[in-house]
């Protein structure tokens, strides 16, 4: 446009336009100035399209652009990059005759433009190169020098405005970064306080995860912890914003990226959710919830791998390096929290176990029969005690067989007291005295909430007896459905509490007792044969009181002294006639019945001589069936074979005459059983001894069962 003196002038001038652009950037980002810039340029220039490109310093990456012209073309192939590199204006009058920047021109044609002329000038401030201002027009002649000068002046003003805006954004970003760093430092401080003040592992992890989700702008947080006795990992999750609330504990087997984080102890990142990267349950969860990006942070404390922290986002933006560094700091604090919580849990469990053992032992002291020693001098009792001496030093399972009231628990205690486990706990459980529904819990323990009424965690007798001896009294009364679990616990030395998936290891020596015929129960399908064979490693038959009558006077004297002291009585004699009657009585209830009888007698006695209610015995004799007893010949056979077995165990040799006598007896029984050794009607059952013991004796005496069929 010509002025009065013939020179070119521009309405309002480029400087005024630049000032206007600066004011427009006071509260808006650089991209908002496109319309103002276009309106200002049209005052002195005709063009069809406008673009301003600013590059990140030292790269070909576009920091921002106004017009997006040719954005699909590599920066190096555009006129904007040429001007930016050479810092020279570029003017093309007829592009159809100019072979340069063909890709850029074709890209404009694709979007409906057919430019022929182009003018591009550098955007450069006094401090640095910024980019390029580009205008393109329809077919025409080249832009004039005056137009080039006008665009250059506008570009200078625009460069100042853009630099001011970028500096403003940078300062605001720096301020935001400082605030973010302060928030992260505050989070670490709060986390440290939480770690040192709270020893509840789950509460600490959940509180940390909730805060971390907000701070890191993520949608999913969990912590995976290896379980104590399993290859699986327990996941403590926080996913409250999902389609359903995932604030639950899961057990998963580590695979893919999770396993790699544990093995390499380094952060693992992936922005593509694949089944190979995750356990199936997490893969399904991430797909359903739209998780796109995941970061796994190993939790390590003092070279010990304690778990992994997982953070997920629904957006595809990957985690930056500074975020990973911050998560590693968080991981270190969480690892300390986990280590403290695990140590506290272990101490609490040991404390609870000691407390329960103390209560159990106190109950045992209150409930025990009060024997300071096993009373008796009969040959039958001495044989039992010799077997106890033989087996006590081993860890073999002992099965005590005998009628009710014969003192099987005392023999079990004797086995424990003479074993290498005598310094540890002797735990007993009467399987017949506990309801079927509670027996499994009593034996193996339970977790809180495992069933109605389980208001707290409880250790079972199996766990209390770890490193000690477990005595299962009345083992024949264990329900059939619980027997497989007991068999597994005895064979594998491991079990699970009710309501728990965690396998616990124990080292228990088992002594079992029963007054029932387990072999008959096997035939009647009331007892598992495999459990019987596991229990019947070293059977000991406890003789009833009628087979050791010579011990009755000693027992009477012992019980009289015991209850006289308790009742503060002075009883120093037992009438001979009364003692003879008591000795000749069969005592179907055995020692337990005798003890109760003597206690009643002490209560009734008013003088210094025991006044025993002998009339009760006569009445009982008329109302109860006679007690079963073996023929004397059978008892002698059993006694002789037991004696020979003991001599063999001690490495002694029987006399030739005794060997021959025993050989004839075994041959006679084998002929009667047609050469059958085992089974309910076999020779071992007839002789009342273990099948393996009989086979051993037959080998020693050169007896062939096949020849006697």
pLDDT tops 70 at residue 76: yes
Q: Are 404 and 515 in contact (CB under 8 A)?
A: yes
Residue with tokens 């309910």: 680
Give just the sign of the alpha carbon dihedral 595, 597, 603, 605: negative
| Cβ-based burial of 48 (10 A; exposed 0-12, middle 13-18, buried ≥19) | middle
| Separation of CA 146 from chain center | 80
Query: What's the rounded Cα separation, in Å, for the pair 323 and 181?
Result: 11
Q: Are 705 and 664 in contact (CB under 8 A)?
A: no
Taking Cα atoms as reference points, which of 659, 656, 658, 682 lies closest to residue 669?
682
Query: What's the rounded Cα separation, in Å, for the pair 247 and 237?
Result: 5
Query: Would you tell me how many other CB atoms lie within 10 Å of the CB of residue 24?
Result: 17
Q: How confident is the model at residue 603, as a pLDDT?
A: 92
Most confident of 361-370, 538-547, 626-635: 538-547
| Average pLDDT rounded to a whole number, residues 217-242 | 68
In this structure, of 143-147, 434-438, 510-514, 639-643, the range with the lowest mean pLDDT score is: 639-643
Q: How confident is the model at residue 351, as a pLDDT?
A: 74
Q: How confident is the model at residue 475, as a pLDDT?
A: 92
Q: Which SS3 state, helix, strand or coil, does residue 254 take?
A: coil
636 or 318: which carries more pLDDT confidence? 318
| Average pLDDT rounded to a whole number, residues 6-32 | 49
pLDDT digits (tens, 9 = 90+) for 468-485: 999 999 999 998 888 999
Percent of the chain with pLDDT over 90: 15
| Average pLDDT rounded to a whole number, residues 687-691 | 74
Average pLDDT along the chain: 77
Q: How confident is the model at residue 238, as a pLDDT?
A: 54
669 or 619: which carries more pLDDT confidence? 669
State the Cα torsion 21-24-28-34 to the nearest 10°: -50
DSSP string, 18-65: HHHHHHHTSSS-GGGGHHHHHHHHTTT---SEEEEEEEPTTSS-EEEE
Query: What's the rounded Cα separation, in Å, for the pair 586 and 593?
Result: 10
Q: Which SS3 state, helix, strand or coil, does residue 137 take?
A: strand
Q: Are 494 and 506 in contact (CB under 8 A)?
A: yes
How far CA 617 is from CA of 553, 586, 612, 623, in Å, comes to 16, 10, 10, 10
pLDDT digits (tens, 9 = 90+) for 142-151: 778 888 888 8
HEC sequence for 55-105: ECCCCCCEEEECCCCCCCCCHHHCHHHHHHHHCCCEEECCHHHCCCCHHHH
Query: What pLDDT band is residue 9 in, cutting at 50, 70 and 90?
Result: very low
| Average pLDDT rounded to a whole number, residues 172-185 | 66
């Amino acid at each position: 446009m010509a002025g009065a003196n013939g020179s070119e002038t521009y309405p309002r001038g480029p400087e005024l336009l630049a000032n206007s652009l600066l004011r427009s950037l006071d509260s808006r980002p650089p991209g908002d100035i496109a319309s103002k810039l276009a309106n200002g340029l049209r005052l002195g220039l005709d063009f069809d399209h406008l673009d301003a490109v600013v590059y990140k310093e030292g790269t070909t990456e576009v920091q921002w652009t106004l017009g997006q012209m040719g954005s699909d073309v590599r920066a190096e192939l555009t006129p904007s990059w040429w001007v930016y590199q050479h810092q020279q204006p570029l003017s093309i009058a007829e592009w159809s005759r100019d072979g340069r920047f063909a890709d850029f021109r074709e890209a404009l044609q694709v979007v409906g433009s057919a430019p022929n002329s182009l003018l591009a000038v550098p955007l450069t401030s006094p401090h640095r190169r910024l980019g390029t201002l580009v205008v393109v027009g329809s077919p025409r002649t080249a832009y004039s020098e005056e137009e080039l000068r006008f665009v250059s002046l506008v570009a200078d003003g625009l460069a100042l405005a853009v630099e001011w805006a970028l500096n403003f954004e940078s300062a605001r970003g720096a301020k935001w970064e400082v605030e973010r760093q302060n928030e992260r430092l505050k989070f670490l401080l709060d986390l440290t306080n939480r770690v040192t003040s709270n020893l509840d592992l789950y509460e600490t992890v959940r509180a940390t995860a909730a805060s971390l989700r907000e701070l890191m702008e993520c949608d999913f947080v969990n912590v995976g912890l290896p379980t104590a006795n399993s290859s699986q990992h327990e996941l403590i999750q926080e996913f409250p914003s999902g389609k359903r609330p995932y604030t639950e504990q899961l057990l998963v087997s580590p695979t893919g990226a999770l396993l790699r984080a544990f093995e390499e102890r380094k952060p693992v990142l992936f922005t593509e959710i694949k089944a190979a990267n995750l356990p199936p349950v997490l893969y399904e969860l991430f797909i359903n919830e739209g998780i796109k990006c995941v970061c796994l942070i190993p939790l390590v404390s003092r070279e010990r791998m304690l778990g992994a922290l997982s953070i997920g986002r629904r957006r595809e933006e990957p985690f930056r390096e500074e975020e990973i560094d911050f998560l590693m700091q968080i991981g270190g604090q969480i690892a300390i929290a986990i280590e403290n919580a695990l140590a506290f849990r272990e101490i609490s469990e040991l404390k609870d176990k000691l407390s329960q053992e103390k209560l159990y032992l106190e109950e045992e002291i209150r409930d025990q029969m009060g024997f300071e020693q096993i009373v008796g001098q009969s040959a039958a009792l001495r044989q039992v005690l010799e077997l106890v001496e033989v087996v006590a030093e081993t860890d073999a399972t002992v099965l005590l067989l005998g009628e009710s009231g014969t003192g099987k628990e005392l023999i079990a205690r004797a086995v424990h007291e003479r074993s290498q486990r005598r310094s540890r706990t002797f735990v007993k459980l009467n399987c017949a005295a506990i309801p079927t529904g509670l027996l499994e819990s009593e034996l193996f323990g339970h977790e809180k909430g495992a069933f109605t009424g389980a208001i707290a965690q409880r250790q079972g007798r199996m766990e209390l007896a770890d490193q000690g001896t477990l005595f299962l009294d009345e083992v024949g009364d264990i329900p059939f459905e619980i027997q497989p679990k007991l068999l597994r616990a005895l064979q594998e030395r491991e079990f699970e509490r009710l309501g728990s998936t965690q396998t616990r290891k124990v080292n228990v020596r088992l002594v079992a007792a029963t007054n029932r015929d387990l072999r008959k129960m096997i035939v009647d399908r009331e007892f598992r044969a495999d459990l019987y064979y596991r229990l019947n490693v070293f059977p000991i038959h406890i003789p009833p009181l009628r087979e050791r009558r010579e011990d009755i006077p000693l027992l009477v004297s012992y019980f009289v002294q015991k209850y006289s002291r308790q009742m503060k009585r002075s009883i120093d004699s037992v009438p001979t006639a009364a003692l003879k009657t008591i000795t000749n009585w069969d005592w179907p209830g055995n020692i337990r019945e005798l003890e109760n009888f003597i206690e009643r007698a002490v209560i009734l006695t008013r003088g210094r001589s025991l006044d025993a209610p002998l009339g009760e015995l006569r009445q009982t004799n008329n109302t109860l069936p006679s007690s079963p007893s073996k023929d004397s010949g059978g008892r002698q056979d059993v006694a002789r074979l037991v004696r020979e077995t003991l001599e063999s165990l001690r490495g002694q040799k029987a006399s030739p005459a005794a060997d021959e006598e025993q050989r004839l007896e075994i041959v006679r029984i084998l002929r009667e059983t047609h050469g059958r050794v085992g089974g309910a009607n076999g020779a071992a059952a007839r002789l009342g001894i273990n099948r393996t013991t009989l086979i051993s004796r037959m080998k020693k005496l050169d007896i062939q069962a096949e020849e006697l069929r």
